[in-house]
Amino acid sequence: MNISVIGAGYVGLTTTACLAHIGHHLFCAESDAEKLDKLQAGVMPLFEPHLESVIRGVRKAGLLTFGSTEEAIDRSDAIFICVGTPPLTNGDADLSDIEGVARAIAKRASGYRLVIEKSTVPVQTGARLRRHLSVHGTSRLKYDVASNPEFLREGSSVKDFLHPDRIVVGVDSTRAESLLGQIYEPIVKQRFTCPIHSECPRRKNPVFLATDTNSAELIKHASNSFLAMKISFINMVANLCEVVGADVTEVAKGMGLDPRIGSAFLNPGIGFGGFCFPKDVQAFIRIAEKSGCDFSLLREVEKINQGRIGWFIEKLRSEVWVLRGKKIAVWGLAFKPNTDDVRFAPSIEIVKALLAEGAEVRAYDPQAIDKAKAVLPNITYCDDAYQAAKGAEAVVLLTEWEEFRKVDWCRLARLVERPLIIDGRNALSAQVVAANGFHYIGIGRASAAPQLTQSLVASVCE
C-alpha cells in the first residue's frame, strides 16, 4: 500500500521505517529543512537503535522516499500524522502542528484519504479533525479520520513497533478499519523478517483492538498517566524506605510478583521525563478539568515527580555540604538510556539546579551531548565517564546507560577528589561499588560505606 507519514521525529521515522520494512511503499515528509536534507542524504537526525539500518535497507529496496508535506498528501491514500504535540504553558497539548497538517490536507487533497492521528492528542481531536476537513476541504475530498496511538518507547522503538503488545485503532467506518487492518496485517500476524533478531524472543501476535476514536485517544493518555502514576508511587515508597530502613528494591520485587501489579515501572529514581509522560499527564489533567472531572490524583503524581529534583539535590548536598565551587560529575543526560533525547529529562533539571548552586558540572552521555548542548551551553562536556569524574567531589548517575555498570573502578578511584557515587537510578550494585572503595548512595535503599580507603584502593589498583 502507498502510505505517507508526516513528521520525521522519533515516532514518524520509526513508523516510516517499520511500515516500509513490512513491505509498504512509504513517503515521509518533514518540514524542518535541515532535518529533511539530512534524511535525503542518508544521515540520521536522531539516535535510535536499529533505525538507521532499517532505513538504509528500505531505501535501497526503493520502498522509501523523503520529501515535502505537499508531496506526502498527493502521494498516498493513507496519511499518518506524526508531528509533535508539546505542552502549552497551561498544560494543554499544543495542536498547532496537527491543525497545520489538517489544513494542508483539506486544501490540497482530492479523492479519498484516510487521515490517521498517531501523534498523542487529547480526546475528541479526531472529531475536530473531521470537522476541520469538512469545513476547509474541497468538495472533491472524501475522507475518514482514525486514531492510532503509538506505544513505542524511545531506545527500543523499532522492536516495540514490530513486536507490540497491542495495536489500537479508533475508527468510525468499516473502510478505515479494513485499511488499518491491511496496513498492520504483517505485524498482527508477525509475518516479516525481523531486522533486529535472527530469532525473535517475542513472536506473540499482538491484539488488534478496534474502538471508537474517542476511546482510542483516551487509551493512550490513560496508559501513560497510569505508568507515570506507578513511577511516582514507587518513588514515594522509596522515600519511606529510606526513613524506616527498608530496601525499595526488595519491596518493588515483592510487589511486582503479584501479576495484578507487575514489576514494570517500579524502579525508583529521579523521576519520569521525556517527550511523553510529563506532557501527557499535564494534558490529561487539563482534559479532565475541562470535562468537569476532578483528577487531582494526577496532580499529585505530577507534584511528586517535580519534587524529585530538589529531593535529589538535597541528597547530594547532605553529603557534599556546600555545592558552590565543587566539581560534580554527571553521568547521563538523556531522559533514559539508548536515546539521545533530552526533552523534559530530569537530568537537565538537576544540572540546572547544580549550576544555580554554583557547582561546576562535568557531564558525559554516550549519545545525548549534542542535544544537551542546546539547552545546557555552559557546562563542561566530557568524552567519557572517567574524564567527567576527574577531580569530582561526587559522581551522580542520572541515566542508567549500560556502560556505567562496567566502569573500571580502580581507574575511577584514581581520578576523583572523593570516592562518592550517588546513583539516581539504582543502576549500580551497592556492594560492588563499596567493595571498590567508593561510598555508594542509592534511592530508597541503604547506602554502602567504602570497604577500602582511597589510599588502599590506589595500592590495590597498582
Residues that bind ligand NAD (CB under 6 A): 6-12, 29-32, 35, 69, 82-85, 97, 100-101, 119-120, 150, 152, 154, 275-276
According to DSSP, the residues that pair with 448 across neighbouring strands are 440
Query: What is the number of other CB atoms lying within 10 angstroms of the CB of residue 240?
Result: 12
Q: Which residue is nearest to ligand NAD (CB)?
A: 9
Residue 172 beta carbon to ligand NAD: minimum distance, rounded to whole angstroms: 21
241 is catalytic: no
3-state secondary structure (DSSP) of residue 455 = helix
Residue 411 beta carbon to ligand NAD: minimum distance, rounded to whole angstroms: 35
Joined together, the cell numbers standing for residue 81 give 500524522
Distance CA 116, CA 104 (A): 14
Nearest alpha carbon to residue 365 among 376, 354, 357, 356:
376
Pick between residue 227 and residue 246 the one whose CB is nearest to ligand NAD.
Answer: 227
Residue 67 beta carbon to ligand NAD: minimum distance, rounded to whole angstroms: 10
Joined together, the cell numbers standing for residue 271 give 523521576
Pick between residue 95 and residue 323 the one whose CB is nearest to ligand NAD.
Answer: 95
Pick between residue 157 and residue 235 the one whose CB is nearest to ligand NAD.
Answer: 157
Residue 15 beta carbon to ligand NAD: minimum distance, rounded to whole angstroms: 9
* Distance set, CA 9 to CA 45, 146, 372 (Å): 8, 20, 17
- Compute φ and ψ for 397, nearest 5 degrees: -95, 115
3-state secondary structure (DSSP) of residue 300 = helix
Pick between residue 249 and residue 367 the one whose CB is nearest to ligand NAD.
Answer: 367
Beta-carbon contacts of 139 under 8 Å, excluding residues fewer than 6 positions away, are: none
Distance CA 127, CA 125 (A): 5
Distance CA 357, CA 197 (A): 47
The one catalytic residue among 18, 82, 276, 382: 276
Residue 58 beta carbon to ligand NAD: minimum distance, rounded to whole angstroms: 18
Residue 274 beta carbon to ligand NAD: minimum distance, rounded to whole angstroms: 6
**How far apart are the two ends of the chain, measured CA to CA in Å?**
64
Nearest alpha carbon to residue 301 among 234, 219, 218, 220:
234
Pick between residue 100 and residue 256 the one whose CB is nearest to ligand NAD.
Answer: 100
Pick between residue 84 and residue 450 the one whose CB is nearest to ligand NAD.
Answer: 84
Locate cell 487533497: which residue? 109
| Active site residues per annotation | 276
